[in-house]
Amino acid sequence: MPAEPALPLNAVFGFLLVLARVSGALVFVPLPGVTAGPKPARAALALGFTFALFPLWPRALPAEPSIGLLVVWIAAEAAFGITVGLAVAFLTESMLVAGQLLGQQAGYSYAATIDPLSQNDSNVLIVFAQLLAGLLFFSLGLDRQILRIFAQSLSAYPPGTYLPNLRTAEAIIRLGSGTFETGLRMAMPVIVLLVLVDISLALLGRINQQLQLLTLAFPVKMLAMLAFLATISVLFLPIYRGAAGRTISTLLALH
């Protein structure tokens, strides 16, 4: 009788642990279209990343796994993936903060559209910021950086050996605290311009009270914001690149 191929249990357990680590990140990493995409496509993406890391799968496990120990290992691996996903998601949140600040100041809060990721009504500028964040994420090669981080983490923390710790939590909290700072740096020049427009319209209304400037305030602010935003949009790239560099450096330092 021909010998039946036997699949080692270590390979099966290694596959499950690496899949748990990668899947935890894909829950939060802002890949455009993935969040709202079909679940089979998201599962296929996680499987693809897992098989791409096949050379780094563990050849031996640190202990003989039981059901309870395997559940603990999977939870720890998922926690690592969620940590990486949260760190990358903070980059998108910084763009959303900028879009929210600009939308409130320019009056775009009255113009809502459907967010392609959450399928909810959102500010037009928030949707634009979401798409811009996804574009910058891929154009800067952050997807390759994330895969490299997973590859290095499998060498530094083989599956079954990683444990969440306070140092990791503090690093992620610091990244989260910088979300508002990054968004404010992007939005501040436009906010200053809109404040100057409001002051100018107020002075004109004070000088000549016959002028009905209230009906012109919203159109002027919207057009001024769009024109100025198109002019300074080149400044978003270095700000986003700096925030992305800090994120990648923090994740690499966790190894």
pTM for the model: 0.75
Looking at residue 62, the DSSP 8-state letter turns out to be S
pLDDT in the model for residue 4: 46
pLDDT in the model for residue 35: 57
Rounded to an integer, what distance in angstroms lies between the CA atom of residue 16 and that of residue 10? 10
Contacts of 148 (CB under 8 A, 6+ apart): none
For the record, the structure tokens of 18 come out as 């690496």
Under a CB-based contact definition with an 8 Å cutoff, are residues 36 and 117 in contact?
yes
Q: Can you give the residue ranges of every domain in the chain?
A: 9-253
Rounded to an integer, what distance in angstroms lies between the CA atom of residue 237 and that of residue 91? 12
Rounded to an integer, what distance in angstroms lies between the CA atom of residue 95 and that of residue 161? 35
pLDDT in the model for residue 231: 82
Q: Output the tens digit of pLDDT for each of the chain's 255 residues.
A: 454 445 566 777 788 888 888 888 877 666 655 555 566 777 788 888 888 888 887 776 766 777 888 888 888 888 888 888 888 888 888 888 888 887 777 766 665 555 555 555 566 777 788 888 888 888 888 888 888 888 888 888 888 788 888 888 888 888 888 888 888 888 888 888 878 877 877 777 777 766 666 666 777 777 777 788 778 778 888 889 989 999 988 888 876
Under a CB-based contact definition with an 8 Å cutoff, are residues 89 and 28 in contact?
yes
Question: Which H/E stretch holds residue 113?
Answer: strand 112-114
Q: How many residues does the chain have?
A: 255
Distances (CA, A) of 18 to 25, 56, 135, 159: 11, 9, 27, 7
